[in-house]
Amino acid sequence: MSERQGWVPFIIKNMKVRSYLLLSLASIVFIEAPLSADPPPGGEWRLVFADEFDYADADLDREWISQNGPSGHILSSRWRENARVENGVLKLIGKKENRGGQDWTAGNIWTKKLFKYGYFECRYKYAAATGTNNSFWLMTQGWQQIPAGKKRFEIDINEGHYPDEINVNLHNWSDFWTDEKSGKKRHGAWGKSICLSPPSGKPGRTISLDVPVRTRKIRFSTGHAEHFHLREIRLFPKNDKGYYPDIEDGKTARDSGGLENYALKAKVTAHSPLHPQHAYTRPEAAIDNDIRTSWILAPGKGKFIELDLGEEKEIGAVQFLTGWMNGGEYVHYIHDYKIEYWGNGRWEELAVQENDRLVAVDLGAGFHTYALEWNEDELIYYFDDKIIHRRKNDIAHWECPVWLSLAIMYFAGDVTDAIDGKAMTVDYVKVWQRPGLGTVRDRAAGEPLE
């Protein structure tokens, strides 16, 4: 076994310059910027892996391994033919074709090299269709002999959902249990969904969780300074088919498709309404399953509504709708929110959208960078060089490959024919490590290429 604690030198060739989009709330500006990336400041970093896909398609197999077969947990089988290198980029292509017993195909590849700790960065753009899961991630593999006291894990640096969602996750694949209520096998997972859209015709939101959370309390809060209407907030168990009713459609909103809306029986704690003398402005109006009524919130900061379900429930989706109708369209809806659940004696973030993180709504229109600093103590997630999430590292302490994948799945939005031919497009993948604080090695002879 050839484990390398030393450093692999790289010469950055063919320095590319591409346009990418910066958005302020006042204007949209195109700028030219060098493609080369840098690790975060502080301490010494060494580049130990870099792939800019400046080669023929056949050469992808020198550093990467491809899935070739069906996938039991998503809607697409995945094949080497769907991972194509051309014109200096890697394309993971979604196709509507029946293969491997599934109605869609896509691409999924991982590195032959194995890494532990470092700074991992990928510059890519999403496949421009809902229902696509555009992923850059790290995960141990089944063939690996994990030492006693270590865990199998998965770190999702980004599971991107078109057009505007970043999803960061951490999975514990060593410890499982059976949920008493649903009877389903579960594992430890912690995630956060970040929506980056500016106001864009989306008064309603559905936060669909691939891995449900079990909790007694859910909290919705916002930094929105003006008064607004919270028309409805709903909590559903996980629907394995990925379907949840359209909260913006009054008729559909009342038909939950057989799913129980846990919010209907919740006890409410909330910020004071704007006009407490009017019954229809009480916070309970936000959980009456009627989008014609609403809770009107006062101007100022500190707005929140907390739903106590009385006992722990398994939550698979959170929905909410804000604003009011004017001329047949919703107006004055908010785009600054945070969804949290109560777990481990504290509030844990599930989903967030904040004004200072807004970018172009379409993450499939241009390239952005997604990165992770993985060290012994902490996981630090980045989007376009800015920290978007930090989490204590309790489980990820073994070597693993880097993964790039496109999946077709209901939890990433509506699955339509628009996916056919769309691609997650990758510009580069790079890994840096601090001297003495990380490892990178090639697979030894006899180690599987699974």
Task: Kindly report, residue by residue over 213-226, the tens digit of the pLDDT.
Answer: 999 999 999 888 77
Assess contact for 53 and 426: CB atoms under 8 A.
yes
Q: Are strands 76-78 and 102-106 parallel, antiparallel or unpaired?
A: parallel
340 forms bridges with which residues in the sheet? 219, 349
- pLDDT at res. 359: 53
Secondary element (H or E) of residue 132: strand 132-139
Task: State the average pLDDT over residues 336-346.
Answer: 91
The token duo for 443 is 């697979």
Task: State the average pLDDT over residues 260-269.
Answer: 95
Position 32 pLDDT exceeds 60: no
Secondary element (H or E) of residue 189: strand 185-195
Position 140 pLDDT exceeds 70: yes
- pLDDT at res. 105: 98
Longest dimension (CA), the chain: 76
Q: Does residue 80 sit in helix, strand or coil? A: helix
Average pLDDT, rounded, for the chain: 84
- pLDDT at res. 74: 93
- pLDDT at res. 177: 76
- pLDDT at res. 16: 41
Task: State the average pLDDT over residues 159-163.
Answer: 93
- pLDDT at res. 22: 31
C-alpha angle with apex 113: 109 to 117, nearest 5 degrees? 105
Instruction: Tell me the pLDDT band of 34, cut-offs 50, 70 and 90.
Output: very low
CATH number of 1-182+366-450: 2.60.120.200
Position 167 pLDDT exceeds 70: yes
- pLDDT at res. 73: 83
Is pLDDT larger for residue 95 or for residue 354? 95
Weakest-pLDDT range from 127-141, 159-173, 362-376: 159-173
3-state helix, strand, coil in the chain (%, to 5): 10, 50, 40
Position 31 pLDDT exceeds 50: no
Share of the chain above pLDDT 90, in %: 57
- pLDDT at res. 19: 32
- pLDDT at res. 401: 98
The token duo for 361 is 């709504």
Nearest to 211 by CA among 245, 180, 238: 238
Q: Are strands 89-93 and 17-23 parallel, antiparallel or unpaired?
A: unpaired
Task: State the average pLDDT over residues 432-443.
Answer: 93
Phi, psi of 94 (to 5 degrees): -90, 135
Position 25 pLDDT exceeds 90: no
C-alpha 146/C-alpha 142 separation (Å) is: 9
* DSSP per-residue string spanning 307-362: EEEEEEEEEEEEEEEESEEETTEEES----EEEEEEETTEEEEEEEE-GGG---S-
The token duo for 315 is 């939550």
Residues of the chain with CATH 2.60.120.200: 1-182+366-450
pLDDT digits (tens, 9 = 90+) for 14-23: 334 333 333 3
Q: Does residue 61 sit in helix, strand or coil? A: helix
Instruction: Tell me the pLDDT band of 357, cut-offs 50, 70 and 90.
Output: low
pLDDT digits (tens, 9 = 90+) for 53-74: 999 999 999 999 999 999 988 9
Amino acid identity for residue 35 in this structure? L
- DSSP one-letter code for 278: S
- pLDDT at res. 382: 95
Position 344 pLDDT exceeds 60: yes
Position 47 pLDDT exceeds 70: yes
- pLDDT at res. 59: 98
Position 371 pLDDT exceeds 50: yes
Position 180 pLDDT exceeds 80: no
Instruction: Tell me the pLDDT band of 445, cut-offs 50, 70 and 90.
Output: confident
Task: State the average pLDDT over residues 141-151.
Answer: 93
The token duo for 136 is 């850059």
C-alpha 447/C-alpha 432 separation (Å) is: 24
- pLDDT at res. 279: 55
Q: Taking the alpha carbons of 54, 115, 4, 15 in that order, is the dihedral positive or negative?
A: positive
- pLDDT at res. 15: 35
Instruction: Tell me the pLDDT band of 199, cut-offs 50, 70 and 90.
Output: very low
- pLDDT at res. 83: 99
